[in-house]
Structure formats: structure tokens, C-alpha cells
Amino acid sequence: GADDYLTKPFAMKELLARIRAMTRRKSDYTQKQLTFSDVTLSSGNFELKCENTVSLSNKEFELMQLLILNAGKDLDNNYIIERVWPDNEKADENIVYLYISYLRGKLESVASRTRIVGDKGGSYCLVRAS
């Protein structure tokens, strides 16, 4: 969304003053991170970090974010589809399973002990591995 709006015609001094004001507020635009167990999910660059770092696609990021925000809770396929693929009528348990598989591989590639438990057609849960 827009933080500011300047109508035409505008004075160059006004534009520059607004740009300077926005850059002073840069702390409002800092990168947000979610952490669960030994992994950190960075929304600024769609990265998953532990001992290593890996990039995530948009849907991988949305799914991982959903899992972290609901860590320890069983999320069924319908719940996941409604939140990650809300406008895709063709989304089903197969697409959820595919992206869960991608995320499991990426958790392994960053050397995380965090796991996604659950089976195709059932529910999924993000847990700390012991």
C-alpha cells in the first residue's frame, strides 16, 4: 500500500522533503523475521535459515509462515488450502503434500532439527525434533 500521496502539480522541494521523511522512518520498514526452534524465516528476502540459508518460493514461504505461526498445532489440508491457495479452486491435498515435501527438503538442507510431521491426506504439524 501507499504511505503517502502527492497530487500534481507538486513542488520538487515538497517531493524531496517527503522522501527524506520516509527514509528517516526506515525502521518502520525493517525486515521481519519469524523464529521457531532452530529456524528463522525472513520475510524480507523469503529465506529460511539455520546453519545454512535457503531461498523459498512465494508459496513455500506462505506455507512455512503458516506452519511457524501455528507451530505445535495440527493443520488439516482444508485449513492450509484456504490460507495458502485461497483463490485456486484446483488446489487439493496433492499440492499441499508437494509443498510440504519441498519444505521438508529445505529444512534438511539448512541442517535444521525442526520437522514437519504428518502424512498425505491428513494433517501437518511443525515440531521441534529431539
**Mean pLDDT of the region 68-95:** 94
In one-letter notation, the amino acid at residue 49 is: K
For 56, other C-beta atoms within 10 Å of its C-beta total 20
pLDDT at 73: 97
17-44 pLDDT, tens digit per residue, is 888 777 766 555 445 899 999 999 999 8
Cα–Cα distance for residue pair 100/104, rounded to 1 Å = 6
Cα–Cα distance for residue pair 81/111, rounded to 1 Å = 27
Query: In CATH terms, is domain 31-128 a member of 1.10.275.10?
Result: no
- How buried is 52 (Cβ within 10 angstroms: 0-12 exposed, 13-18 middle, 19+ buried)? exposed
**Mean pLDDT of the region 34-55:** 95
pLDDT at 33: 93
Which residues make Cβ contacts (< 8 Å) with residue 128, sequence separation at least 6? 36, 37, 38, 113, 114, 115
Strands (DSSP E) contained in the chain are 33-36, 39-42, 47-49, 53-55, 75-76, 114-118, 123-128
Cell 491428513 belongs to residue: 122
